Amino acid sequence: MAKSLGIFVTNPEQFKHVMGITKAAKAKGSKVKVFFTWDGTLNAKKEAGFKDLCELADDVSICADSYVKQGYDVKDIPEGLDEKKMATQAQHGIIIEDYDCYLSL
Amino acid sequence: MEYNKVCLMYRAKDSTVDGIRSGLGLAVENMYAYGVVLDDVTMDKLDENQIESIEMLRDMEGEIYSTNPANCELNGLEPITIEELGEKLRDMTHIIPYGIK
Amino acid sequence: MKILNVYRSEPDDTTKKLVEIVTRDRESDSFDLYTDSPDYDALVDKIFEADQVISWW
């Protein structure tokens, strides 16, 4: 069985790689969780493929506090997410604790 | 039980304070969390809330270091050299070059 | 312990110095993510094989 992979996104310029790596990992049968923080959360509003990522990965969430600090209203939930996925840094902890492989981008 | 040891490193002024917050987030999840502000960043004076975050991190046996003496002096960060940082990283379970350069 | 160094941009002196110390006497591999068309399939294989992945700025 393929290893699981958690991706922690802190850089808004890495979305292409987030997608590419998620696609490749899913093709190998991996469970993939992605968590966006700080200006990485801009991807949720500015990247056309964000919704596709949410459908492709097993779990996608963003740091709600970071999102607000980037100027967005927390009630303005990006397409592909729901209220529960407007999350906290605890999601990063889950990636570290519960996933076989860790990648920051 | 083995605890995770995580070191986040910051090279962009804009993401440093949030990166420290990420470190605190891991400390409350029972990990040893450290942050390092590298030479590239000359920090502004931290506000009361930000200093409180660092103190909370220290209470949980974490620390914020800087290779830039000006940041240590201004914000009370622990000094560290790049060589000392490299040695410290060898002991980490997770190494996170945070944000943009 | 096998370390995979992933480079998001061409490594500068700071990154090179840290990589040198972290990988000293350890098995290591690397992957350049800053190329035009990274082979994500190969990267995921390397991630799965590594004990620790460091994705440098």
User: How far is the C-alpha of C20 from the C-alpha of C6, rounded, in Å?
Assistant: 14
- CB atoms closer than 10 angstroms to residue B13: 14
Task: Specify the number of domains making up chain C.
Answer: 1
What whole-number distance in Å separates Cα of residue C10 and Cα of residue B9? 17
Taking all residues of chain C, what is their mean pLDDT, rounded to a whole number? 97
Q: Which chains touch C (3 or more CB pairs under 8 A)?
A: A, B
Which residue range(s) make up the domain with C34? 2-56
The mean per-residue pLDDT over the stretch A39-58 comes to 97
Contact A17 C50 (CB under 8 A): no
E-state strands within B19-86? 32-37, 63-66, 78-79
Answer yes or no: are the C-beta atoms of B99 and B9 closer than 8 Å: no
**Predicted pLDDT at B100:** 92
Q: Structurally, how many domains does chain B consist of? A: 1
pLDDT > 80? residue B1: no
What is the pLDDT averaged over residues B81-100? 97
How many domains are contained in chain A? 1
Q: How far is A56 from chain B (nearest CA, A)?
A: 24
Q: Which ipTM did the prediction report?
A: 0.96
Per-residue pLDDT at A51 exceeds 80: yes
**Smallest Cβ distance to A92: which of B15, B25, B97?**
B25
Instruction: Give B2's pLDDT tier (boundaries 50, 70, 90).
Output: confident
Tell me, yes or no, if the pTM score tops 0.80. yes
The mean pLDDT of B67-88, rounded to a whole number, is 98
Give residue for tokens 């493929």: A49
Range of the domain at B58: 5-98
* Cβ–Cβ gap A17/C40 under 8 Å: yes
Nearest chain B alpha carbon to A40: B99
pLDDT at residue number A1: 82
Check: CB of residue B68 under 8 Å from CB of residue B37: yes
Pairing type for strands A86-87 and A101-104 reads unpaired
